[in-house]
Amino acid sequence: MATAEHRSSQTSPADLPPNVITLPQTAQLEALYTIIRDKDTKRGDFIFYTDRIIRLLVEEGLNHLPVVPKSVVTPTGETYDGVGFKGRICGVSILRAGEAMEAGLREVCRSVRIGKILIQRDEETAEAKLFYSKLPDDIANRYVLLLDPMLATGGSAIKAVEVLQQAGVPEERIIFINLVAAPEGIHAFCSKHPTTRVITGWIDRGLNDKAYIIPGLGDFGERRYTC
Q: What is the DSSP string of 67-128?
A: EEEEEEE-TTS-EEEEEEESSEEEEEEEETGGGGGHHHHHHHSTT-EEEEEEEEE-TTT-SE
- Hey, what's the torsion of the CAs at 120, 223, 54, 22, to 10 degrees? -70
DSSP secondary structure letters along 140-180: GGEEEEEE-SEESSSHHHHHHHHHHHHTT--GGGEEEEEEE
Q: Categorize the per-residue pLDDT at 227 as very low, low, confident or very high, splitting at 50, 70 and 90.
A: low
At residue 15, the pLDDT reads 74
Decide if domain 13-225 falls under CATH 3.40.50.2020: yes
User: pLDDT digit string (tens) for 46-99?
Assistant: 999 999 999 999 999 999 999 999 999 999 999 999 999 888 999 999 988 899
pLDDT at 124: 65
Domain ranges of the chain: 13-225
